Structure 1
C-alpha cells in the first residue's frame, strides 16, 4: 500500500484534503470483496458506489455497504422518478471515473447522492479513490458531509 500518484486518485485526494490519504494497492480493489481483501477489513466496511441514471437523465449515486444490495424501488421513491443502472459510458461521462473506481467525491458533474444509513454502524469505512486499486478511509459523518448525501435506508 502506498500513496497514489494516478491523476484520478490525485483529483480525489485534492477534493478530500490533507485529512485523508488516497492509497493504492498492487492488487485490485475493483469490487467490494477485492477491496476488503486488499485492505484487511470486513466487507461491510466497504462504501461501494453504484451509479444509476434517472428517467430525466440525472446521475444518481448510491453509496452502500459492501454486504448490501441496493433496493431500486426505495431509490425511485426517494428520488420521485424511475431509475435504471447506469451504463459504463454514462458512469464515465457523469463522474469522470471508470466503473470500479468511482469515489463518493470529485465528480465532473453533480450527482444526487444517497448514503446507506446502515454504514453508520462502522467507525471506519473505505471508499474508492478514483481508480480500480485506490481507496481511502473515512468516517460515516465525514462521508455524508463530503459527498452531500441524503442518508436513507437504501438496502434490500
Structure 2
C-alpha cells in the first residue's frame, strides 16, 4: 500500500532515529480505519487510556511555531506555559499556519517529519506511561513511542503544560 507522503516522512524519521541510536526496531506507523481527530477518539481506536495520547498542538509563539506534545488527558495552560518559556504571546495557530510550518493537517500533526525544525515542548505527564501514541502525519496515522523517545526524536524540552 502506498503511504501518504507525510506518513512516509514520519516513518523515515523513526527508522533513521532507531538506526542511529541502536535502540532496536523502529516503531511502525499504523493506519487506522478512520480518522481520529481527538485524543478520546484515538484512545478508543487503540484501546488505551486517553492520557497515553500525545496530542500535537501547534501554537504561535511570538510569531514562530511551537509544537506542544501534551497528554490527551488535559489541556495546555497557555498563560502558564508562556511564562515558563519566557514568551510574550502564545496563541493557538490557524490551520494555515500549522500546515505551512509542519506540512501536516490539524488532527494529524506528528512530532516529526516537518519540512524544517519546530521548537518543541513535551508534557512531563506523558512520562507516567510506558507507551504513548503520537500522530503520524495524517488524521488516520499513529505510532507508538515512549516519553524518552519523544524527547530524543524532537529535541524537545520537558515541561509541565497543564
CA distance in 1, matches of 2:76, 2:115: 24
TM-score by length of 2: 0.90
TM-score by length of 1: 0.93
Structure 2 unaligned segments of length 5 or more: list them.
Answer: 16-24
CA distance in 2, matches of 1:134, 1:36: 13
Would you say 1:36 and 2:43 are equivalent positions?
A: yes
Aligned to 2:132: 125
Q: Deviations over 1:19-47 (max 9, x none)?
A: 11001011222211111111111101000
Count residues in correspondence. Answer: 152
RMSD of Structure 2 on Structure 1 (CA)? 1.3
CA drift at 1:97: 0.3
The 10-residue stretch of structure 1 (24-33 or 120-129) with the greater mean CA deviation from structure 2: 24-33
CA drift at 1:4: 7.3
Query: Is 1:4–1:24's contact at 8 Å kept on the other side of the alignment?
Result: no
- Classify 1:144/1:12 alpha carbon distance in 2 versus 1 (closer, same or farther; 3 Å): same
- Classify 1:142/1:4 alpha carbon distance in 2 versus 1 (closer, same or farther; 3 Å): farther
CA drift at 1:111: 1.4
CA distance in 1, matches of 2:86, 2:144: 32
CA distance in 1, matches of 2:54, 2:156: 13
Structure 1 unaligned segments of length 5 or more: list them.
Answer: none
Aligned to 1:15: 13
Q: Which of the residues 151, 154, 158 maps onto 1:151? A: 158
Aligned to 1:90: 97
Q: Moved runs in structure 1, 4+ residues, more than 3 A?
A: none
Would you say 1:68 and 2:71 are equivalent positions?
A: no
Query: Is 1:59–1:110's contact at 8 Å kept on the other side of the alignment?
Result: no
